[in-house]
Structure 1
């Protein structure tokens, strides 16, 4: 049991680390979508304004073109417990050394850009299909001929670099070799590790690639069933903090499919949609994108659930409930942060979350795909680029799907709240405190930087104390909305109610010594300040 808990904790940490480089991808949709709209349709070529917008589009496509690099650096940085800068450098160094090693070893076996071309393979006896499959294994990464591993090469190198940095960043050597002690020893070891890594990968990756082809085929052939399973699992795994593990391969690797757009091969549904956004020839976005379903439950479904919470509250409490429901609904619709409402009924009625809400979300993905909704973005703020390329949007069905989804969620949640007398906010006695996760907390999410203080201590200082002090904290990281902390002794950590009532958390997820404290979009800044507090205590 202990080993299972430790494995789950490691998966949660890894899942959170993958979110760090994705921060870069948030701006891709804006830069490519808006920039390409101006350069393709609005401003004629040769104008200085055209050039400026073309530069923004270029930045977006540059980010897409070097995804393995961002993941190697981001994962290594996040998972390094100390000397994070050196950890990030190690991830970058290992990525290049690893790919160069594969290139050299493949060259010794007779494979290079010329010999792996389809025509060359056909000439030596490969069938058309085998030639195409073998050729698809190879690519050019930052000028190096190597395997086309997508973000997997970055993830592998980031993990290995972080492990090496954590293991050897304080390594002491004899005086004669002291120059290579500590972080320099890490880089030295990574250079040595890159050689066996490259050799092993040369033989293993083709097998993994075959597996990915099989998975792609399964997802493609399973149609709406596969879509429903994905959408449901995405929510079922959310409380455990590992939902990114099923979404990332579909969004950013060839598991989600491939498409040639304007001479460039894009892998993964999110990357394909970015390519379509930047193409003057594209007439729309792919409909099987495993994201459009979120439009339904984020803009209509969860607001419907929130209205059910308001409608089932005591009459004398409804004014107070409205003050916390309204900011929550605005946040969901604008930026897609849904955890405050989700965790409210998750903690109150787990069966409602796992047995009703998650399948409803899976159904939302199916309906969006079934009605061919084709739109870029799944929250209002991230849909802004669509205003500049409306001809690529095909979403007329949302006119009736959104109110229908709102009604379904409203009546389903109202039924379960009333049927089982669930104590959602406002259903308590009038003299009891009413909390969604609190209006104050949502105001602070909007203002992002505002910090409350108690008895002269800042929020980061109180967070460290709540975890049992700096000596009890092993590791600190974050994802898009959660502060992730591993502690030595869980008995030193305060109760969940203290996190939500006194420390401004929107929710708490814990697994043995691994904690995820939900703070919403301000978590990145808050994590930095928590680390600053820990540094002062060293």
Structure 2
């Protein structure tokens, strides 16, 4: 089950990666016209509507992205089937259609069917489409029906299955939707405490990759919260909408880079140069883009106590920002780019205070991390023997394509090569790998390639934290895997 949710989280990263495009369009539009939401400027209106076309269709993006990501070969027919599944479900279960099926007036239809176009249904449709692709993409029909064999059969079977599933959802969806709404209302009712609990568990689940499932509840329209879309589209309450995003900015732009500085200052002298290079690059990525995994994976397994402290501080940051109604938003992660773009949005409330909060958290992170590392002699980077003397692949002597190819080849060999690697996948920053024999994996050789960390997640599952360029390493590894 954990492996399923990890793969689902990885699949969701593809449509989520589209959201920064919406952020750029909406951010610039609201900078031009911060009060009229585009009404006072044709250029602003054009940009705001263009960005809204992405934000408002997140469920469709999820249906397509999940179908593509969960299918074995990531084929386009799976993505097409995800779209078909979504169209069938949302058309048959729209309020007007349900009214005709039930023989009642549209006003009498359960309110749940008025919210059928949501992220939860999009994910469900994507899963159905992927399942149909994995089952029927290689099926051969008799010669008379040969045209519909293989991948052409997938959207047909998806349509048929969605007809049956839609009938089931006529009965199932109202109580499921009611339960999700009650959960969302319960969390929202906790106010700042609820935001803090979410922030704590968000970081705590990072090592397993299951944080994506939790994020979907708060950031998208699964339980009625829909924090990201509502914030960027200006739908909600100023100072409240965005409360499940704002508190991440002080952590990602200030707290974690300060933690990296503490780890650098507490490293042994002979390792300071290597730790400094690692933390400088990782800190810059965290500040600019909000990608924090390179820093977090540097200590989460070497010093679990520190990671628990980090999770508590993250929850505290979200609770503080929510309590004071300071809001800013992101579409990708809580880095400077999203902060700048969201600064002038209609629902941004005193976003400059998040910078003040961030400076305070930077001080807390630095001195608290430094004290705990020294007090308990934690083996953070540069304090144990985990720093490799090997030289990672560098851009100085190779092209970028060659760099990724060389790194992929070394990682693949350290994993045991063709005889041991059974599957290769990736998310935003990690390689997600399945191997036949974990004992055949040489983790030290993998670390020597310059990756940020290695994490064994199961008897046959291992993750390699590469960073934002993980896609290119994964593609090169798949080339080796096909040979």
Give the structure-1-normalised TM-score: 0.80
Deviation readout 1:237-290 (Å, 9 max, x if unpaired): 100011111111110115253xxxxxxxxxx110111112xx8xx995536521
In structure 2, C-alpha distance between the alignment counterparts of 1:183 and 1:306, rounded to whole Å: 49
In structure 1, C-alpha distance between the alignment counterparts of 2:59 and 2:351, rounded to whole Å: 33
Matched, 1:311 2:265: yes
In structure 1, C-alpha distance between the alignment counterparts of 2:465 and 2:274, rounded to whole Å: 23
Structure 1 residue 230 displacement after superposition:
0.9
Output aligned runs, 1:280-359, within 5 Å: 284=238, 286=240, 289-315=243-269, 318-354=272-308, 356-359=309-312
Gaps of 5+ in 2: none
2:181–2:224 CA contact under 8 A, matched in 1: no
Distance 1:64 1:190, change over 3 A: same
Give the equivalent residue in structure 2 for 1:109.
Answer: 102
Give the equivalent residue in structure 1 for 2:148.
Answer: 180
SS class of match (1:397): helix
Matched, 1:170 2:138: yes
Deviation readout 1:325-355 (Å, 9 max, x if unpaired): 322222211111212221222121223323x
Deviation readout 1:461-491 (Å, 9 max, x if unpaired): 444444443465444332221222334x133
Give the equivalent residue in structure 2 for 1:245.
Answer: 213
Deviates more, 1:508-517 or 1:50-59: 50-59
2:263–2:380 CA contact under 8 A, matched in 1: yes
Among 203, 211, 218, which residue is 2:186 paired with? Answer: 218
Structure 1 residue 427 displacement after superposition:
3.4
In structure 2, C-alpha distance between the alignment counterparts of 1:299 and 1:433, rounded to whole Å: 27
Structure 1 residue 440 displacement after superposition:
6.0
2:195–2:315 CA contact under 8 A, matched in 1: yes
SS class of match (1:504): coil
Higher Cα Rg, which structure: 1
Matched, 1:504 2:451: yes
Give the equivalent residue in structure 2 for 1:484.
Answer: 432
SS class of match (1:347): coil
Distance 1:193 1:425, change over 3 A: closer
1:321–1:426 CA contact under 8 A, matched in 2: yes
In structure 1, C-alpha distance between the alignment counterparts of 2:399 and 2:218, rounded to whole Å: 31
Give the equivalent residue in structure 2 for 1:34.
Answer: 28
In structure 2, C-alpha distance between the alignment counterparts of 1:173 and 1:498, rounded to whole Å: 48
In structure 1, C-alpha distance between the alignment counterparts of 2:425 and 2:5, rounded to whole Å: 13
In structure 1, C-alpha distance between the alignment counterparts of 2:229 and 2:149, rounded to whole Å: 41
Give the equivalent residue in structure 2 for 1:16.
Answer: 10
Structure 1 residue 517 displacement after superposition:
1.9
Deviates more, 1:283-292 or 1:239-248: 283-292
In structure 2, C-alpha distance between the alignment counterparts of 1:438 and 1:339, rounded to whole Å: 22
Q: Count matched residues.
A: 476
In structure 1, C-alpha distance between the alignment counterparts of 2:414 and 2:137, rounded to whole Å: 29
Deviation readout 1:290-322 (Å, 9 max, x if unpaired): 121111211221122122223323456545543
In structure 1, C-alpha distance between the alignment counterparts of 2:224 and 2:39, rounded to whole Å: 34
Distance 1:316 1:13, change over 3 A: closer
In structure 1, C-alpha distance between the alignment counterparts of 2:314 and 2:302, rounded to whole Å: 19
Distance 1:194 1:426, change over 3 A: closer
Distance 1:211 1:502, change over 3 A: same
Give the structure-2-normalised TM-score: 0.88
Deviation readout 1:120-168 (Å, 9 max, x if unpaired): x4xxxxxxxxx8xx33x234xxxxxxx5240112111110110110111
In structure 2, C-alpha distance between the alignment counterparts of 1:159 and 1:44, rounded to whole Å: 37
SS class of match (2:463): strand
Structure 1 residue 233 displacement after superposition:
0.7
In structure 2, C-alpha distance between the alignment counterparts of 1:531 and 1:286, rounded to whole Å: 45
Deviation readout 1:21-55 (Å, 9 max, x if unpaired): 11111221221121233255699979xxx545533
2:177–2:223 CA contact under 8 A, matched in 1: no
In structure 2, C-alpha distance between the alignment counterparts of 1:468 and 1:314, rounded to whole Å: 33
2:289–2:336 CA contact under 8 A, matched in 1: yes
